[in-house]
Structure 1
Amino acid sequence: DAEVILPATHDTGSAFLAVPARDEFAAYLSSGTWSLLGVENAAAITSTDSCAANFTNEGGYEYRYRYLKNIMGLWIIQSVRRELGEQTGTRPSFPELIAAAKEAADFASCVDPDDSRFLAPVSMIAEVKAACADTNQAVPATTGEVMQCIYNSLTQDYRRAIETLQTLTGKTYTSLNIVGGGSQDQYLNQLTANATGLPVFAGPTEGTALGNLMVQFIHAGIFADLAEARAAIKRSFEIQEYNPQ
């Protein structure tokens, strides 16, 4: 006798619903093991250029289309952390890895995080170093330099994806909303703002669960529509703002 409400049943589909976007010119980034960067559209974009750029149209709530690109996310960092733990017997914390990267903030090498070589290497640290050597860049010698290289690489990938997104949609995006576990990485958020030249709004963290709840709230009449639900999320959670430096 239970009433079953069908939300957006894909985790990213629900997470996108929880994005407290300022307006229609906000790009979205669901940041976790993978990074999914894109926007919501009323209609699918199926051009040859869109296909070549590897953007996908995924079905969403109210027959919206999540138009997005799948980008390597925190998997590289998670792999480095696990590998360091195997070497020393104690996994460093994420704050410790961030602090190490900050100490090497001037390290400029950058790799393509979407290269298949980073999907399941025997050693992620060795693979990052090899990719730098293969492209005639400075090879990171310390954990901090490896981490800074990863941060450089992710944020430049985000920048390229937003530029491509603008070309494909014909829109100029004026902000980036980051949801998911990666939104807690303040250093990544700031570097993303710097690389993209856009203000970054980070949070909420539990986007998937909130997006699921929002659909149930709307069905129950607690919120009139998605805009009202998103406004409630903006009021209810601390959203961190990062401006380009």
Structure 2
Amino acid sequence: MKQIKYYLAIDIGASSGRHILGWLENGKIRIEEIYRFENGLIEKNGHLCWNIDRLFSEIINGLKKCKELNRIPTSIGIDTWGVDFVLLDKNQQLLGDSVAYRDNRTEGMDTKIYNIISEKELYNRNGIQKLIFNTIYQLFALKETQPELLSQAEHFLMVPEYLNFLLTGKIKNEYTNATTTQLVNAETQDWDYELLEKLSIPTKIFGKLHMPKTSVGNFKQNIIDEVGFDCEVVLPATHDTGSAVLAVPTNDDNSIYLSSGTWSLMGIERLIPDCTEISRQHNFTNEGGYHYRYRYLKNIMGMWMMQNVRKEFHHKYSFTELFTLADIAKYFPSIIDVNDESFLAPKSMIQAVKNYCIKTNQEIPQTEGEILYCIYNSLAKCYADIVKEIEEVTNKTYSKIHIIGGGCQDIFLNRLTAKYTGKDVFAGPIEATAIGNIICQMLKAKDFQDLIEARETIAKSFDVRKAEIIEGRFWEYNLN
């Protein structure tokens, strides 16, 4: 009997992490979640931070679960959100705290940077969407407030790279996540050392950029002793969106993808970046993808708003109840800008929504249903606006939208997206990021000839449902 080769994706998002095993069986990809844990921000030394030590302990717990189930992976890959980083000193010890992108330390840093290099020139160099929490602004904030940390630093590591280091003792920077820093040159596809020097950020801390499928190394001996087995650590697209886009279940270039989770990432794949002024004015980003593809997309606040609103409700509603509440309030007229900075890390998301409506002289939502519908409706209209912008910038009409990731389960938002965009909307697969992570490992192992074959296998392996509006009601049917 042929032994099954398991691949482990450790997919860590802003609100939770999961260990998902994947393998090939009868020509299809099978996955199984074997461990899940919560993630979130903590307040430390006056900043919002990630609890990196706890995240790593949860990684170890999940690896122990593999041993307990006797499902030892051939390799593992770790992906997380982008932009956040840690610094190591000459002894490879952590410097400072792992401050999170939702912290306010970057306020005003854009103005200071634009006194050195204009926003227009910056975009022309890297093609990355301006977001005030991008790594470039975080590093500049560190230079302004804690320059001693930068002067002591020997290594710059994004979050998944640091977790890889803890497992293997090896330091390797990965390309797709590096592009989220706004410090990678779109033309050279390497760190923009000239830009770093302009900003007085030490260039020595930035290591060689490695592509997905690169081996980081095997577990350190103390990790082997703790989890009970050795394993190779492989770089997937370590930025979670980079992995998610790999799992879009089509090779058709006539489709737009929407990776829906805490953040919504909406865009297309391109083979060359678009760093033009028109693209900048539309605020599109050219993030690096697998095999030097480009993820031409926009970041949208996404399900983060819904997650926070749900926490504030006194009753813990089921998703069906949430959809019902929102549907009851479907004539509520107010629209919010879901990307407004007031929604990034408010004390109360409900109050932030109300304050925005007050500020913009709109009707203030009073009921839970009105709050929900206001967010749902605003998200869907934002998606529709971005579809129009993509078509305007590319001078091309797209017929389909593939919604992937956990947010694709939100049938109410899918319905509104189909309604406002007028496109064919397909939902699935749900665990797109983990699947894309696993696909990278399988491509390294030569289980697939290329990404085209891998995507064809994804399409026949997972539920992909088409969303339609019939007499005002939403329904989906399985295409497989």
Cross-structure match for 1:11: 240
Consecutive unaligned residues in structure 1, runs of 5 or more = none
Is 1:118–2:340 an aligned residue pair?
A: no
More displaced 10-residue stretch of structure 1: 186-195 or 207-216: 207-216
The aligned runs of 1:177-188 (5 Å cut-off) are 177-188=402-413
Displacement of 1:166: 1.2
Displacement of 1:34: 0.7
Displacement of 1:137: 2.6
Q: 1:193 aligns with which of 398, 418, 440?
A: 418
Displacement of 1:244: 5.0
The aligned runs of 1:62-211 (5 Å cut-off) are 62-84=291-313, 88=314, 90-211=315-436
Consecutive unaligned residues in structure 2, runs of 5 or more = 1-217, 219-230, 471-480
Displacement of 1:120: 1.9
Q: 1:30 aligns with which of 252, 259, 266?
A: 259
Instruction: Give distance in 2, aligned partners of 1:219 and 1:122.
Output: 44
Instruction: Give distance in 2, aligned partners of 1:75 and 1:212.
Output: 23
Give percent identity, aligned residues only: 52
More displaced 10-residue stretch of structure 1: 235-244 or 58-67: 235-244
Displacement of 1:4: 5.1
Question: Which one-letter code corresponds to 1:77 in the other structure?
Answer: M
**C-alpha contact 1:180 1:205 (8 A) present in aligned 2:** yes
Displacement of 1:3: 5.5
Q: How many residues align?
A: 241
More displaced 10-residue stretch of structure 1: 25-34 or 224-233: 224-233
Question: Which one-letter code corresponds to 2:348 in the other structure?
Answer: S
TM-score (ref. length: structure 2): 0.48
**C-alpha contact 2:266 2:297 (8 A) present in aligned 1:** yes
Query: In structure 2, the residue corresponding to 1:105 is in which secondary structure?
Result: coil
Q: Which has the higher contact order (CA 8 A, sep 6+)?
A: 1
Cross-structure match for 2:448: 223
Q: List per-residue Cα deviations over 1:105-147 (Å, max 9, x = no partner).
A: 2223211111111112222112212222333332222100110
More displaced 10-residue stretch of structure 1: 218-227 or 72-81: 218-227
Displacement of 1:22: 5.7
Is 1:61–2:286 an aligned residue pair?
A: no
Instruction: Give distance in 1, aligned partners of 2:322 and 2:468.
Output: 23
**C-alpha contact 2:251 2:455 (8 A) present in aligned 1:** no
**C-alpha contact 2:336 2:375 (8 A) present in aligned 1:** yes
**Higher helix proportion (structure 1 or 2):** 1
Query: In structure 2, the residue corresponding to 1:243 is in which secondary structure?
Result: strand
Q: List per-residue Cα deviations over 1:164-184 (Å, max 9, x = no partner).
A: 111122221111111111001
**Higher strand proportion (structure 1 or 2):** 2
More displaced 10-residue stretch of structure 1: 8-17 or 101-110: 101-110
Q: CA RMSD in A?
A: 1.7
**C-alpha contact 1:31 1:182 (8 A) present in aligned 2:** yes
